[in-house]
Structure formats: C-alpha cells, structure tokens
A and B are shown apart, each in its own frame.
Chain A
Amino acid sequence: MSGTVSAATRPDAVAREVPAGRRPGWWGMVLTLATDVAAFAALLAAYFYIRFVTAGDNWPPGEIPEPKLLKAWIMTGLLLTSSLPLVVADLGIKKGRRGRLLAGVGLTFLLGAAFLAVQGLEYHEKLTKEFTPQTNAYGSLFFAITGFHGLHVILGLLALLLILVAGLSGRITRHHHAVVRITGLYWHTVGAVWIVIFASLYLAAQL
C-alpha cells in the first residue's frame, strides 16, 4: 500500500498530465452532453419561469391535480439502477471479459426499456384522465420536457443495441472498447438529468 503511494507521488509520476490521452471521441461526447444539458436547463428554466413569474400560487394551474409520484419513483429507480450494469460491462471489457460486457449492456437495455414502458403508462394516464400538451402552458412544458428526455432514452437504447450486436460479433475487445465508455458517459448523464426533471416536475410540484 505504501509502495503504491510512493509510486504515485514520485516526481515523474506527479509530473505526468492527468488525465492523459483521452480519446477525441470522449471529449466530443463530453461537449455534446454539455450542450445537451444546457438545453435541458433552458427547458427547466422555461418551466420555472412560467411557474414563478407567470402563474400565480395555484400550481399546477387550473383543475390539474398534483402529479402522482408512484410511477415516477419507479421510473427513477429503474433508470438509476440501469447505470450499474453498464459500469460493470465497461470495467469487464477492459479486462477482456466479453460475457460481462454482454450481460451488463443487456441488463441496462432491459431496465431502460422498462423505464420507457412505465413512462408510456404514465403518459397514457395523464393524457386520458388529467391533461394534454394542448390544455395549457403547464401541460405543454410537462410533455415537452419529459418527451425530450424520453427521446434521449430511446437514442441511448439504440446505442446500447448497437454495442450488444457489435459485442456479440466480437468487434468490441479489450483493446477497442471506447464505444462502451463513451455510451456510458451518455447514459449516466441522461439518468442524472432525469433526477433533476423528477425533482422539478414531480417533487417540487408538491410544494
């Protein structure tokens, strides 16, 4: 242990730039996510602007009841859990463990698909019983924000599917697995954004 510490603090080790040698693709994804998160921030800013500047004390406005939380909690649980197997898959393929890659990515895919299924139920209930995007500005923004997020999940599922097929045909190896790391970056961010959406549209709406 102390050997590790002294090895890591020797002048030549400290002098190395950290992190060294990130792939351009990794940086590309980081910046794409930066602009993407900025878009979510703008959408949520629009939501809070309408809530606190435009609308009065009654929120959600009109006859719309406060959002029910059960399905949203389930969705949150599913999306948060889905990140774990992807991390296992990423660490696995780094050591050349293809089985872990396939199992991890497959599990993440299933959890993500389950998220979308519950979101479908949630949409169905809201659209038929509570409100639609055409009801008022609250409805418009609710569906714009959650819909935009759902689109991200669909895109993520497509990427996971691509990895799954490529992994099955042996194209992802211990030396070529950047696509797993980069897709993971995307997936975890989409999950983190969901927490903010959940907190803003569901939890904070109870206050």
Chain B
Amino acid sequence: MTTVEEQQAADAAVAERLEPVWEESGGLRGWFTTVDHKKIGRRYLVTAALFFVAAGLEAMVMRSQLAGARLDVVSPELYNQLFTLHGTTMIFFFSTPMLFGFGNYLLPLMIGSRDMAFPRLNAFTYYVFASSGLLLTGSLLFGAAPSGGWFAYVPLTEEQYLPGIGMDVYCLSLLLLGVSTTAGAINFIVTALTMRAPGMSLNRVPLFVWSLVVTAFMVVFALAPLNVDNLLLFLDRRFGFHVFDPDDGGDPVLWQHLFWLFGHPDVYIIVLPALGIVSSIVPTFSRRPIVAYPLLVLSAVATGIISFGVWVHHMFVTGLPQLSLSFFSAASLIVTIPSGIQIFAWLFTIMLGRLVVRTPMLWILGFLVVFVAGGVTGVMFAVVPFDQQTHDSYFVVAHFHYVLFGGAVFPIIAGIYYWFGKFTGRMLSERLGRWSFWLVFAGFNVTFFPMHVLGLLGMPRRVYTYEPDLGWEGWNLLETVGAYVLLVGLALTLFNVVRALRRGPAAPDNPWGGDSLEWATSSPPKEYNFPVVPTVHSLHPMWDERTLATMVEDRQDPGRTLTDGKQAMRTSDLDGVPEHPLDLPEESVLPVVVATGLFVLTVGALFGLAVVAWAGVAVSVAGLVVWHWPRAARQEGPRQEQQA
C-alpha cells in the first residue's frame, strides 16, 4: 500500500505531463476555438435554458391573455406567433438541445473517455444550434415570427395564406437545426461505439448512455423526413413548387405524413434521454443497483423501433382508411408496454432499496407521478373514437404537457440538481431546491390539470380568446394562477443556480455516492477528464473496488495514461477491448467558420439574396476543405523515410 502523499505525488506526475497537452487558449480566442466537450456541453445547457426562459415567458403572455373571456392583452396575430414560437422553441430548441447538453458533458465522462469522437464537429453543432435558435427567437422582435402552429400544417402555411417571411423562418431555422442535431447524434453514436473505457462491454454501459445512443439512432432516421418536409415547403413557398398544393397535383396530407413520421419518434427523442437521467438518479438514491438492467435497455431499444410505427395516431381525424387507423391504434397501445416496464423497474428499485430523498430524487418522484398521469391520457388517445372526440381540444394540450413537462422538464431539473456539482464545482442549496420543487409541482398541476376538464368541455386549442357565457372562465383563471406559481417555482431554481455559482459550497467529487464513472473525476473535471483511463469491471464502476483500483495502479502504465499527445483510447465496438490510442484534434477556429458560413447561407435564402447565400456556401466549403485536408502524412514523413 502507498501512503496518501505518495498517491498525490503520483497523480501530480501524470497531471504534469497531461496538462500542457490538453490546455486550451483562454480569453475570447479560446471561446471560439474550444473543442472541449465539457465547455461545449455547458454552453448547450445554458443556451437551451435561455430558450426555455424565452418560450416560458411567451407562455406567460398567453396565459395572461386567456385569464378571462374577451381579454385584449395581445392581438390575435401576436397570439398566433406566440403559441407557434412557444411550441417550436420548447420542442426543438429547448428539450433536445438541453438533453444533448447533458449528453455532451456526461457521455464521455460516463464511458471513461477523454473527449467525444469528433471534438470539432461537436463545437460546430453548438454554433449551428445557437444560431438557428437565435434566428427563430429573434424573429419575434421583428414581428416576423412563424404563426402556423408548431406542426405547420399546409395549406395554411402555404405562401398565399400566410405571406411574409414568418414561415420561411420556421422552415430554414429547423433545417439549420436539423444539421446540428443530426451531426450531434452521429457524434454520440460513434463515441459510445468506439471510445468506451477498457472493459466496458455493452452490458456495462450506463443506462443514460444507452438512452442517448437509442435517441441518436432515432434522430438519424427521423430527422430526415422532417428536413425533407421543410425543404419542400420552402420550395413551395419561395420557388413556386406545388408539392403540397392540391390545385396542381400536390397533396396537403403528404405534409402531415412526413411531419408525424418525424413527429412521433421525436416525442421519444425528447423523453428517452430524460428517462436515462431518471435511470441514473434512481439507483443512487435507492442505494442499490437498478432493477432489470437488460429489460431497461431492451425497453429503450424497443421504444425507439416501435415509435416509428405509430405516427398516424396524430392523424386520426384526417380521414384515412379504417384499416390504417386500426393498425396504428394497436401499435400505439403496444408502445406503452416498454414505458410501463421502465416505470416498474424504477418503482421496484426504490422499493427494494433504501430511499434517500434529496432534491434530485424529489424531482424524480414528481416526474413519476406526472409522467404516469400523462401516460394514462396517452393510452386514451390510442383509442380512435376517444381521440376523434378530443382532437385539437385542450385535452390534448393537457396530455402533452403532462408527458413533456413531466417526462422531460422534471428529469432535466433533477439532472441539474444532481450533476451541478460536477458541472461547476459548486453545490446547489437543498432548501431552495425543495421550495422550488413544491412550487413547481403544485403550479404545474394547477395549470395543466384543469386543461383536461376544459378540453372535455370543448375548448379548442390555439384560440386567442373565448366567449364569456361558455363556462370556461373559472378554469382558465385557475390555470393562469397556476402558471404564475409555476413561474415562481422555476425562478427559484434559477436563483438557486445563480446563488450557487457566486457563493455555493465547494462540491466533493462524488457528493451523492453515484455509481457511474463521471463521479471518478474531480469536480469540475480536468481538461483530460481522467488522468488514468479506468478499466471497468462491472456495471457500477464506482461501487466496485477492482475498477477503482485500476485508476490508482495503472498510473505507471503508459497504455492507460496516454501522455504522448492529445489522445484517447480506441476500444473494440462490442467488448471494449483496448485497441490503440486515437489522436484527438487541437483547438480550432474551423467549426465557427463553417457554422458562420451555414448561417449566412440561411439568412441569404431567407431574404432571397442569392449573393449572400453563395458567399455563405463559399465560406462553408472553404472551411470544410481546410478541415478535411490530410495533415497526418506530414508528421509521418520523416519516420517513413527512416524506414525506407
């Protein structure tokens, strides 16, 4: 055994060799050139949170407008822009990027890697995401926001019915974001496939990583139809194409098919990584391993596959053949089974363990209640006659807020409380967290539960006001009050974050006693994450003495410290057998250059300025050429000559 001093000296010796290799520029230059997955992940989280605030405030304006009958807080035109932006932002620019932020930060840490497989691509996806979100949100300031609803049904969204650039902003910002999300997803898959720590065979991969990989595969296949849909709509609007125009042989229903072929998988694209967060937190606070790990993995995979076969349940009133309704109704009932398995696995983990209720777990318990309530109404929609009765009513609004706020926002906030120490090196206040939770939980239910009732009473969604004699006023006022309580609750968490950043207590490396590898790093982690690449011996590396020992014993092993350059380890795809070190790229200005080119192209297309668009293409292509210019041969040159 070595003494503590000797251990520290050995750590310092490894760190001394790694630090100069991994150090990045500081200041403004460093801001634009970083390829560190942790910095990029934090940026994703902060940027997505800003979009959440923007979209949340848009919802507050809408709730204020609906507080009473015939109010005149905003004009109908503005109201249309608000609900369109609220939905589009929450679905596309908050949920997925927020969870990709968690993924960016945590995936390499959880699999014991030093960075993502494509660090520069990672930086690129962030810039593209931020610029596309800015384009969409910024359009509201010019009164040019899209106003056709978040699923933008044609023919309403065709040029002749919604002129102006609002819908073009929608098409183009979603296309731009599609580039970012797809590239990010590919990066996740390749990282998880090729860069897991030695010994981390597929049956030892943390559930959060599994969920993220399944999500990423869904993105790869689901985003393509959405992008095609948006491209065709843009061509229809701007270049006089007729794909969705029934007068000239087109078909508006085609838009719906392509949209929901993406749209329903997207529900799981949002929810699956959030469920991965739940699977990370539940065992930690139940003080026992998660129950039925293989079933949970299979459920995630099954959800990913089945979700591609249920899209028509969004179209039960479109007028499709009876047979197809029956098929999709059955598929929609089946997709609930894997979700049920997951819920029971968490409940049994809690039951068989010893529950410790700290703030992260409190948010998870809230999630279980709200998400199950949303799931129950979801099963109701799978039944065709019920769906046809409540279609486009507030019942639907209630359902998807229970599922998405319950299934994504609660776990996201739980994740923030859980990993904040790792992200920032500071701990959040438990007390404020509890207050925030109870206010959000109460505010959420007061806001959204009455929407079930209003929906059954016949209140349609997307109306900017309603008549006083319909008996809807009391419920609507109650909802608005709930919304303000919800706002206060969420603001408390924001305050908690700001306060902790200024004067929160320092975070220990593993404050909650978690089982996955991110807790083996310091809080916040060093640039190179792990001084010694761990060798994994079980599904719970942090609860496993053998894995912990490797991070101490292998300090002398150059095959595990990889100090010869900016290196990470390539391990085999299935079993995690070490193969060879991979050289990772240095910091680079290319990602921001190529992303700027794409943004310029988008703006050029938006305003119909061909010169600007072509300039953007030129910048992007030039950036990509430099990016892919083979450099390795240069370093190799002399060595080869020696051999020859």
With both beta carbons as reference points, the residue of chain A lying nearest to B225 in the complex is identified as A42
In the complex, the answer to whether A179 meets B242 with C-beta atoms within 8 Å is no
21 residue pairs bridging A and B, Cβ less than 8 Å apart = A17-B577, A21-B579, A22-B194, A24-B194, A27-B190, A31-B186, A32-B186, A38-B225, A39-B228, A42-B229, A53-B251, A133-B235, A136-B248, A137-B245, A140-B232, A140-B235, A140-B236, A144-B235, A158-B625, A162-B625, A166-B630
Query: A61 at the A/B interface (Cβ < 8 Å)?
Result: yes
With A24-B190, A27-B193, A54-B249 already in contact, the answer to whether A162 and B628 are too (CB < 8 A) is yes
Q: How many whole Å from B500's CB to the nearest CB in chain A? A: 36
In the complex, the answer to whether B241 meets A140 with C-beta atoms within 8 Å is yes
Q: How many whole Å from B79's CB to the nearest CB in chain A? A: 32
In the complex, the answer to whether B574 meets A17 with C-beta atoms within 8 Å is yes
In the complex, the answer to whether A49 meets B190 with C-beta atoms within 8 Å is no
List of 7 A-B pairs having minimum Cβ-Cβ separation, nearest first: A38-B224, A140-B241, A137-B249, A137-B250, A39-B224, A54-B251, A24-B117
* Residues in chain A near residue B258, CB distance under 8 A: 42, 45-46
* Residues in chain B near residue A162, CB distance under 8 A: 625, 628-629
* Residues in chain A near residue B228, CB distance under 8 A: 39, 42-43, 46
Q: How many whole Å from A41's CB to the nearest CB in chain B? A: 7
* Residues in chain A near residue B1, CB distance under 8 A: none
With both beta carbons as reference points, the residue of chain A lying nearest to B193 in the complex is identified as A27
Q: How many whole Å from A101's CB to the nearest CB in chain B? A: 12
In the complex, the answer to whether B248 meets A137 with C-beta atoms within 8 Å is yes
Q: Contact flags (1/0) for A131-147 with B, using CB distance below 8 Å?
A: 00111111111001000
* Residues in chain B near residue A144, CB distance under 8 A: 231-232, 235, 241, 243
In the complex, the answer to whether A140 meets B250 with C-beta atoms within 8 Å is yes
Query: B498 at the A/B interface (Cβ < 8 Å)?
Result: no
Query: A199 at the A/B interface (Cβ < 8 Å)?
Result: no
With both beta carbons as reference points, the residue of chain B lying nearest to A60 in the complex is identified as B249
In the complex, the answer to whether A171 meets B631 with C-beta atoms within 8 Å is yes
Q: Which residue from A39, A42, A133, A172 sits with its C-beta under 8 Å from B630?
A: A172
Query: A35 at the A/B interface (Cβ < 8 Å)?
Result: yes
Q: How many whole Å from A56's CB to the nearest CB in chain B? A: 10
Query: A8 at the A/B interface (Cβ < 8 Å)?
Result: no
Query: A70 at the A/B interface (Cβ < 8 Å)?
Result: no
Query: B335 at the A/B interface (Cβ < 8 Å)?
Result: no
Query: B254 at the A/B interface (Cβ < 8 Å)?
Result: yes
Question: Considering the chains assembled together, what is the distance between the CA atoms of A144 and B233 in angstroms?
Answer: 11
Q: Contact flags (1/0) for B213-256 with A, using CB distance below 8 Å?
A: 00000001101110111011001100111110110111101100
Q: Which of B178-230 contact A (CB under 8 A)?
A: 182, 185-187, 189-191, 193-195, 220-221, 223-225, 227-229
Query: A34 at the A/B interface (Cβ < 8 Å)?
Result: yes
Query: How many B residues are at the interface, by size bracket?
Result: 35 or more
Q: How many whole Å from B252's CB to the nearest CB in chain A? A: 10
Q: Which residue from B189, B194, B224, B241 sits with its C-beta under 8 Å from A41?
A: B224
In the complex, the answer to whether A28 meets B241 with C-beta atoms within 8 Å is no
Question: Considering the chains assembled together, what is the distance between the CA atoms of A45 and B258 in angstroms?
Answer: 9
With both beta carbons as reference points, the residue of chain B lying nearest to A55 in the complex is identified as B249
Query: B159 at the A/B interface (Cβ < 8 Å)?
Result: no
In the complex, the answer to whether A175 meets B629 with C-beta atoms within 8 Å is no
In the complex, the answer to whether A138 meets B249 with C-beta atoms within 8 Å is yes
Given contacts A36-B224, A144-B232, 20 further A-B contacts (CB under 8 A): A20-B579, A24-B194, A27-B194, A28-B117, A28-B190, A32-B186, A38-B221, A41-B224, A42-B228, A45-B258, A46-B228, A46-B254, A50-B251, A54-B250, A140-B242, A159-B628, A171-B630, A171-B631, A173-B633, A176-B633
Q: How many whole Å from B72's CB to the nearest CB in chain A? A: 42
Question: Considering the chains assembled together, what is the distance between the CA atoms of A73 and B158 in angstroms?
Answer: 37
Q: Which of B596-643 contact A (CB under 8 A)?
A: 621, 625, 628-634, 636, 640
Q: How many whole Å from B497's CB to the nearest CB in chain A? A: 35
Q: How many whole Å from B266's CB to the nearest CB in chain A? A: 14
Query: B279 at the A/B interface (Cβ < 8 Å)?
Result: no
Interface of B is mostly: helix
Q: Which of A36, A46, A136, A139 is packed against the most chain B CB atoms within 10 Å?
A: A46
Question: Considering the chains assembled together, what is the distance between the CA atoms of A20 and B190 in angstroms?
Answer: 14
Query: A170 at the A/B interface (Cβ < 8 Å)?
Result: yes
Q: How many whole Å from A176's CB to the nearest CB in chain B? A: 5
Q: How many whole Å from B492's CB to the nearest CB in chain A? A: 40
Q: Contact flags (1/0) for B15-28 with A, using CB distance below 8 Å?
A: 00000000000000
In the complex, the answer to whether A134 meets B242 with C-beta atoms within 8 Å is yes
In the complex, the answer to whether A34 meets B221 with C-beta atoms within 8 Å is yes
* Residues in chain A near residue B195, CB distance under 8 A: 24
Q: Which of B224, B579, B621 is packed against the most chain A CB atoms within 10 Å?
A: B224
Question: Considering the chains assembled together, what is the distance between the CA atoms of A103 and B572 in angstroms?
Answer: 35
Question: Considering the chains assembled together, what is the distance between the CA atoms of A22 and B570 in angstroms?
Answer: 10
* Residues in chain A near residue B190, CB distance under 8 A: 24, 27-28, 31
Question: Considering the chains assembled together, what is the distance between the CA atoms of A173 and B193 in angstroms?
Answer: 27
Q: How many whole Å from A105's CB to the nearest CB in chain B? A: 13
Q: Which residue from A24, A45, A139 sits with its C-beta under 8 Å from B582?
A: A24
* Residues in chain B near residue A50, CB distance under 8 A: 243, 249-251, 254
Q: Which of A164-204 contact B (CB under 8 A)?
A: 166, 170-173, 175-176, 179
With both beta carbons as reference points, the residue of chain B lying nearest to A96 in the complex is identified as B640
Q: Which of A25-71 contact B (CB under 8 A)?
A: 27-28, 31-32, 34-36, 38-39, 41-43, 45-46, 49-50, 53-55, 61-62
* Residues in chain A near residue B243, CB distance under 8 A: 46, 50, 137, 140-141, 144
Q: Which residue from B185, B261, B575, B630 sits with its C-beta under 8 Å from A179?
A: B630
Query: B431 at the A/B interface (Cβ < 8 Å)?
Result: no
Query: B70 at the A/B interface (Cβ < 8 Å)?
Result: no
Query: B257 at the A/B interface (Cβ < 8 Å)?
Result: yes
In the complex, the answer to whether A158 meets B636 with C-beta atoms within 8 Å is no
In the complex, the answer to whether A35 meets B224 with C-beta atoms within 8 Å is yes
In the complex, the answer to whether A61 meets B249 with C-beta atoms within 8 Å is yes
* Residues in chain B near residue A55, CB distance under 8 A: 249
Q: Contact flags (1/0) for B361-379 with A, using CB distance below 8 Å?
A: 0000000000000000000
Question: Considering the chains assembled together, what is the distance between the CA atoms of A62 and B250 in angstroms?
Answer: 13
* Residues in chain B near residue A172, CB distance under 8 A: 630, 633
